[in-house]
Copies of this chain bind each other. A is one copy, B any other.
């Protein structure tokens, strides 16, 4: 079977920068390339867009197929259209970034055809194609967005401590934050539901757990509230 057109067309793909958060590191999910070009190199999960799906759907599908990851926060990042991005032929790629709760996403076993693994963003370098550039763009976007949209919670487990939340912002924004000021500010927003529950299994005073109240956030937004850290 083949498909013929009057004018040439670039191939259309999607690529996903999936971020996860470790104790003290921002991580990216990569897959190892099984074939040429860039055989053996690490690359962003992604693939061709089918005719019956949007690029959003393609991104979610490829993500699941290649890494087993589902149920993520996904947002379009940028479309990369450099003429020589792919050495074989012209390929335009719509890039996405995704945020996942790392703890809930043990990566599919390496026994699989395509190997998937988490890398610290700092180490995620020398990737296939122009994927270094895509990762860099995604990091910038994340840094920018996390400050005025409460998307950071997507990187944490459902229940988290204020210290974890603070660490998240410190890691993503690459700054140090004052504990008292941070707590004051975030609690004043009235977006966190304090649970009657504390951390387990820590060798020191256990911290109280909180949950992000999505419902409440939406209400507040309607009344003109603007998240801003």
Give residues in A with beta carbon < 8 Å to B: 1-12, 48-49, 51-56, 76, 78-79, 81-83, 90, 92, 94
Contact = CB atoms under 8 A, between A and B. Distances in A.
Given A3-B4, A4-B2, A4-B4, A52 B9 contact: no
Contact of A92 (B5, B12, B82, B83): B12
A83 B1 CA distance: 22
Interface centre among A4, A5, A53, A79 (most CB of B within 10 A): A79
Contacts of A92: 12, 49, 55, 94
Copies in the complex: 2
Contacts of A53: 83
15 contacts: A2-B6, A3-B6, A3-B7, A3-B8, A5-B5, A5-B11, A8-B51, A9-B10, A53-B83, A54-B81, A54-B83, A55-B79, A55-B81, A56-B81, A79-B79
3 nearest A-B residue pairs (beta carbon): A55-B81, A3-B8, A9-B9
A54 B81 CA distance: 5
A61 to B, nearest CB: 13
Nearest to A93: B79
A12 to B, nearest CB: 6
B3 A83 contact: no
A5 B3 CA distance: 5
A10 B76 contact: no
Contact of A9 (B12, B55, B76): B12
A1 B94 CA distance: 28
Contact of A94 (B5, B9, B79): B79
A12 B7 CA distance: 11
Given A2-B5, A4-B4, A8-B51, 5 more contacts: A10-B51, A52-B83, A53-B83, A55-B81, A79-B79
